[in-house]
Amino acid sequence: MIQPNSLPFDIEIFYDGDCPLCRREIDMLRRWDRRDKLRMTDISAPDFQAAEVGKTQDALMAQIHGRLPDGTWLTGVEVFRRMYTAVGWGTLVSVSRLPLVSHMLDWSYLIFARHRLRWTGRCSSEGCSTSECSTQSAPSLSEPVQECSGK
């Protein structure tokens, strides 16, 4: 019998299943993925161990990651491009590669990735947290400080 992880795929996506916006997009992509070209890995699942894929939980939480069948890692908007191409939206994806559009998408995603915990309701006045990480406001108002358990 063929194991699910041995089937051919275009990209494996490492996403935060505790993020309502992220989960909604992943659910939508699952419905569109009629040829099973996407492999989804929820980094918030209790049994997920970041070290088993050679990454830290902090790195995976900082922005979306994707891994190609040859082991190459991708991050950020390029992961979305590969996901949408795999489900048949290649023409639209080609527009996202135009220089001005590409820079705008990269910039917009970095802002989203930096603030997604707050924007998806996972922050309080004390800071932001997930099941494994907590982000405390830094006294200098510069970058927040994120602390994660050893997942």
Question: CA-CA-CA-CA torsion for 47, 49, 52, 54, nearest 10 degrees?
Answer: 150
Q: What percent of the chain has pLDDT over 70?
A: 75
Residue 143: pLDDT band with limits 50, 70, 90: very low
Which residue in the block uniquely carries the two structure tokens 């390029």?
78
Token pair, residue 69, equals 């069948």
Closest residue by Cα to residue 39 from 70, 63, 15: 15
pLDDT at residue 75 greater than cutoff 80:
yes
Token pair, residue 9, equals 């795929």
Global pTM reads 0.76
Q: Read off the pLDDT of residues 115-141 as tens digits, 9 standing for 90 and up.
A: 888 877 777 656 565 544 444 433 333
C-alpha–C-alpha distance, residues 42 and 66, integer Å: 12
